[in-house]
A = this chain, B = another copy of it.
Amino acid sequence: MRVAELSRRSGVSVASIKYYLREGLLPPGELTSPNQAHYDEEHLRRLRLVRALLDVGGLTVAGARDVLATVDDEQVDLHVALGTAQDAVMASVQPVEDDASVRAEKVVADLVARRGWRVSENNAGRRAAVDVLATLDRLGGDQVVGLLDVYAEAMEAVGDREVAAVVDRDEREGSVERVVVGIVLGGALIAALRGMAQESASARRVGPSGER
């Protein structure tokens, strides 16, 4: 298969495919002559993965490159892959050191202790959580903070089941890719389901008879 067919089968323009090749998201095709390459089903799969990370996962091209480099690295273990994927998904605001963020750090530390979680200081989720809580502190409302334990409980269940789902498979063989897809697309799915659950709960409050 050459680039035109890869484009047709994936729905991605030839120009974009060339761009992804340049950026290292897609490995080069096998050269049959100095200026002819051919691509296989694996390239098609990879291209679809790239689009999934960009479109659905909302990663930047640079973030996707980092994640895919981890997927390609045979050395990397699942725990490290987890961290890399999380880094790419979490929009990191560079933190300001005011008293709101100090309080937020304490809230997170208390939560971690309370739940007995084992989370490193520089886990992407932890940094993001501090950011969000500091922002909420600055906004002055306390509505979300009251739900912190509800969220934590729900996510503990989710996280456990997700990690179990990955481990309960015969070792390696695409499992890093599964971790990455799980983190990125799983996050999008969770957000989507939250939206549905919220609307459902809200609709029930508005009126059980069914009007909207």
Contacts and interface: CB of A to CB of B under 8 A. Distances in A.
Interface stretch (A20-28, A32-40, A67-75, A116-124): A116-124
A182 interface: yes
A156 B91 contact: no
A3 interface: no
A138 B129 CA distance: 32
A13 interface: no
B144 A189 contact: yes
Classify the secondary structure of A's interface with B.
helix
Given A91-B58, A128-B188, A195 B141 contact: no
Interface string A178-196: 1001110111111111111
A186 B144 contact: yes
Given A158-B194, A195-B124, A195-B125, A186 B79 contact: no
Interface of A: 11, 45, 48-49, 52, 55-56, 58, 78-79, 82-83, 86, 89-91, 93, 96, 112, 117-120, 123-126, 128-129, 131-133, 135-136, 138-141, 143-144, 146-148, 150-167, 177-178, 181-183, 185-206, 210, 212
27 contacts: A45-B139, A48-B139, A55-B93, A55-B135, A58-B58, A79-B212, A86-B195, A89-B191, A118-B200, A124-B195, A126-B195, A126-B196, A128-B195, A141-B181, A144-B181, A146-B165, A150-B162, A152-B193, A154-B154, A154-B190, A155-B196, A156-B197, A159-B197, A160-B197, A163-B198, A164-B201, A191-B191
